[in-house]
Amino acid sequence: MAAMKRTILLLSVLLAMAGTAPASAALLGENSPPGKSFLNTSIEQVAGDVNREMPPGSGGAWLEGAAEFSVAPATVRQGYSRAYRAVSEAEYQDILRTGQFRQGPNSLEGKWFADSLEGAQGHARNLFPDGKFRLIEADLPNNAPSLFRQPNLDGLGPARYLHLDDLNGVTPRPVR
Amino acid sequence: MRAVVEWIPKEQGGRSQPPAGVGSPPYATVVRFADTKEPWPPPVAWSLVVEKDEAQSERYRWIADVHFLMKEAPHDSLREGRRFELYEGNKLVARGRILTEGEPPAASTA
């Protein structure tokens, strides 16, 4: 009987924690390095559902075979700016596999990011006319040595560039 | 347009090595024309797509097809003989020149 009571109590506690998890994640994410919170393994990452795959170009984040995804904190940490990037299917897969930005064989030694999601989508339409692209977001340090801000890149609004050296520790996240 | 593109070696402040130059998506980065009076960074920067002609290119010196990424870009600025620079962020990585029609590709950007 006592064992049953303990089990019921434990289940109640777990259910209560589950109900408050999203708010806790957002709150703790504010004071933790982007994507580096201890919540990474419990709340900020959720299991991927292979049945929810979305077509390339839809901006969807779910991809067959992916196991875990980082969820963006609701607020951006002070000293960081959230920015967006359209990537190829190959770069997307590499991001899912490694959890970081890396250089491709035909790419720059850094990465351009649009300050707005619309800017990234505009680049995607021109860089990937077949519609096979994914959208990534990341919180970028405002004081990175290589940070180069462009007031208007390709007529699509503000954009910023960071060398890969300054993207170590930056967590890319699929845009949902 | 056809262009000659010369990559700046790392020892001179450029990339550690040139990009592959082929494949999808293509290599595209910000272009600046050498004769421009615009400040840097300019009010609007435009990305130039650079696609290497493998048959006529060497490792650091390419013959390439170049065009703007965006259809809204100032395409008339890509004029024969005009010199340009390619930037990755604030780093100058290559210098180039639009080839004139019938010009042998052996000509240098210098």
Residue B88: which of A108, A126, A127 has the nearest Cβ? Answer: A108
Residues in chain B: 110
B39: tokens are 């400040």
| pLDDT for A75 | 86
A55/B contact by beta carbon, under 8 A: no
Domain count, chain A: 1
Over residues A46-67, the pLDDT tens digits come to 333 333 344 444 444 433 334 3
Q: How far is CA B59 from CA B9, B11, B73, in A?
A: 11, 15, 29
Residues contacting A71, CB < 8 A, separation 6+ = A25, A43, A44, A45, A46, A173, A176
Alpha carbon distance A113, B33 (integer Å): 23
In chain B the domains, ranked by start, together with CATH numbers, are: 2-98 (2.40.30.10)
Chain B neighbours among A 74-93 (CB < 8 Å)?
Answer: 88
The pLDDT confidence band at residue A5, using thresholds 50, 70 and 90, is low
A24: tokens are 């806790």
Mean pLDDT of A123-152: 95
Over residues B50-97, the pLDDT tens digits come to 999 999 999 999 999 999 999 999 999 999 999 999 999 999 999 999
CB contact under 8 A, B28 and A127: yes
Q: For chain B, which residues lie within 8 Å of any Cβ of chain A, measuring from their own Cβ?
A: 15-16, 19-30, 41, 43-47, 69-73, 88-91, 93
Alpha carbon distance B73, A23 (integer Å): 45
pTM: 0.74
Residue A148: which of B19, B44, B89 has the nearest Cβ? Answer: B89
Range of the domain at A27: 2-174
| pLDDT for B109 | 59
**ipTM score for this prediction:** 0.92
Q: Which residues of A touch B21 (CB under 8 A)?
A: 106
A83: tokens are 């920015």
